[in-house]
Amino acid sequence: MTEIFSFKCSRCGNTHEGSPSFAFAAPTYVSQLHESQQKNIIEAGTDLFRVKDGEHVHNFVRVCLEVPIYGYSQPFIWGVWVSLSEKSLERYVSSWNDVDESDMYFGWFSSKLPYYDNTLSLPAKVRPRKNGIRPYLQLEQDGHELANDWCTGMSFEKAQRIAEICMHHD
């Protein structure tokens, strides 16, 4: 399980090396805001977004979804966003520098991943990690392909296919 993930790309012909890792700079909800709604963004950071929506505030935190690849020690990593309730966010932020790894925050998946059928609003649990490592995400087993992959892993061929889509944006 020490092999380095690498493949000859069917799109560009180059060899891409290293376990795939793709991140989204903002939650899909935020990227889809109309220009006139951008003033509702009250906080925009690398790990946190807060957006006003009438009386309500949408909170999003950045996490890692780590999907195992068969035969490789390093997973396919998605840098994605998850919504959190106001109450969860309070605890999340206040314990940021003194993480309790037994904490678990319920949220809804808030990034639309390529390749998969709509991944928005999949039920998820955010698990914080110590030493400034981004929290990891657990997906509920509701039959969605992404949840299955996260739980049981995916083949090298599938990881390559998804990586090619991400790298060459189609």
Nearer to Zn ion, 149 or 164 (CB): 164
Does residue 104 interact with Zn ion by CB under 5 A? no
Minimum Å gap between C-beta 140 and Zn ion is: 33
Binding map of Zn ion across residues 9-38, x = CB under 5 A, - = no contact: x-xx--------------------------
Minimum Å gap between C-beta 157 and Zn ion is: 15
Task: From 8, 20, 17, 63, select the one nearest 159 (Cα to Cα).
Answer: 20
- The residues near 64 (Cβ < 8 Å, ≥ 6 apart) are 77, 78, 79, 80, 134, 135, 136, 137
Q: 81 near 88, Cβ under 8 Å?
A: no
Radius of gyration of the chain (CA): 17
Nearer to Zn ion, 12 or 104 (CB): 12
Nearer to Zn ion, 9 or 99 (CB): 9
Kindly determine how many residues on this chain lie close enough to bind Zn ion according to the rule CB under 5 A.
3
Q: 79 near 64, Cβ under 8 Å?
A: yes
Q: 160 near 15, Cβ under 8 Å?
A: no
Tokens of residue 157, six digits: 């061929």
Does residue 77 interact with Zn ion by CB under 5 A? no
User: According to CB under 5 A, which residues from 106 to 135 bind Zn ion?
Assistant: none
Torsion angle, CA of 84/167/165/11, rounded to 10 degrees? 180
- Backbone φ and ψ for 117, nearest 5 degrees, come out as -60, 160
Minimum Å gap between C-beta 11 and Zn ion is: 5
Minimum Å gap between C-beta 22 and Zn ion is: 13
Does residue 4 interact with Zn ion by CB under 5 A? no
Which region among 5-13, 43-51, 112-120, 134-142 touches Zn ion (by CB under 5 A)? 5-13
Query: What is the binding site for Zn ion (CB under 5 A)?
Result: 9, 11-12
